[in-house]
């Protein structure tokens, strides 16, 4: 691929203007871009490499990030998370990120997107740790992308969201799994939560999922794109159904997490 060739990148729901140029990705910037680049720089500096390198801004005003080769898990490559040890690897990757970001000090003028108010603010969280943002490359090249939504949050808020996508905790019969509770337990064990954190996590699972429905509903009412379009396409209904599925089974998740 020539350096000046631009290849639009597909996947995800919010990818307008995202292109690959050689070994880089170019994306529109926002007020949050300098803070996100500071975050990514810190992560690499402390040894967490499962994220793109920030490479500045190009002559068109787009942010430049290193391209991460591999396959995005959702929706067609979900089998990459089998067997259970692969799911545990995702959980450990998230824990490694949370540990790496713990001592990150944002720039004094940092601005974050802050799309959905988070419960807690003990770290700068990713806020979209999901299979649609996990790139699986070679054995040592698993990485999370789409960091532009990062901002103040908590470990548990990030973990609750990740559990929804990676188990998955879905009301859709095509995605439901009879071993969902076991997968929740395996994920949380691999991440490493204590009993008190597990008890706090369970009711958060439904709230975090429902927050996505509420966000899309509110943005659609204001006509804000691309969220209004996603609402019309039925994404809000999916998040609401998933939250109900999760909430109805809270006892099941809690038993699994406290067993043994």
Given a contact cutoff of 8 angstroms between Cβ atoms, the answer to whether 144 and 51 are in contact is: yes
Q: Please report the pLDDT score of residue 75 as a whole number.
A: 84
Tens digits of per-residue pLDDT, 36-94? 999 999 999 999 999 999 999 999 999 999 999 999 998 888 898 888 899 999 999 99
Alpha-carbon gap, residue 181 to 255, rounded angstroms:
9
Alpha-carbon gap, residue 133 to 185, rounded angstroms:
22
Tens digits of per-residue pLDDT, 198-239? 999 999 999 999 999 999 999 999 999 999 999 999 999 999
Closest CA to 105 of 123, 119, 93, 87: 123
Q: Would you say residue 172 has pLDDT above 60?
A: yes
Tens digits of per-residue pLDDT, 235-254? 999 999 999 999 999 999 99
Counts of helices then strands in the chain (DSSP H, E): 8, 10
Share the mean pLDDT of the chain: 93
Q: Stretch 119-124: mean pLDDT, rounded?
A: 96
Q: Please report the pLDDT score of residue 82 as a whole number.
A: 85
């Amino acid at each position: 691929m020539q350096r000046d060739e631009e290849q639009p990148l597909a996947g995800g729901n919010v990818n307008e203007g995202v292109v690959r140029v050689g070994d880089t990705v170019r994306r529109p910037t926002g007020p949050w871009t300098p803070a996100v680049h500071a975050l990514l720089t810190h992560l690499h500096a402390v040894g967490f490499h499962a994220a793109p390198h920030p490479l500045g801004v190009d002559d068109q005003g787009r942010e430049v990030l290193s391209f991460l080769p591999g396959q995005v898990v959702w929706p067609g490559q979900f089998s990459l998370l089998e067997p259970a040890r692969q799911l545990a690897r995702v959980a450990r990757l998230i824990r490694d990120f949370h540990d790496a970001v713990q001592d990150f000090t944002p720039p004094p003028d940092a601005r974050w997107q802050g799309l959905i108010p988070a419960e807690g603010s003990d770290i700068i969280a990713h806020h979209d740790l999901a299979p649609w943002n996990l790139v699986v490359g070679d054995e040592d090249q698993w990485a999370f992308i789409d960091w532009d939504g990062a901002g103040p949050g908590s470990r548990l808020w990030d973990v609750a969201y990740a559990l929804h996508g990676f188990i998955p905790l879905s009301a859709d019969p095509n995605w439901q799994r009879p071993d969902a509770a076991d997968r929740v337990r395996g994920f949380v064990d691999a991440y490493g939560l204590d009993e008190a954190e597990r008890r706090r996590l369970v009711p958060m699972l439904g709230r975090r999922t429902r927050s996505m429905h509420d966000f899309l509903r509110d943005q659609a009412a204001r006509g804000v794109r691309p969220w209004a379009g996603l609402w019309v396409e039925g994404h809000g209904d999916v998040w609401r159904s998933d939250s109900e599925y999760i909430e109805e089974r809270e006892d099941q998740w809690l038993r699994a997490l406290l067993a043994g």
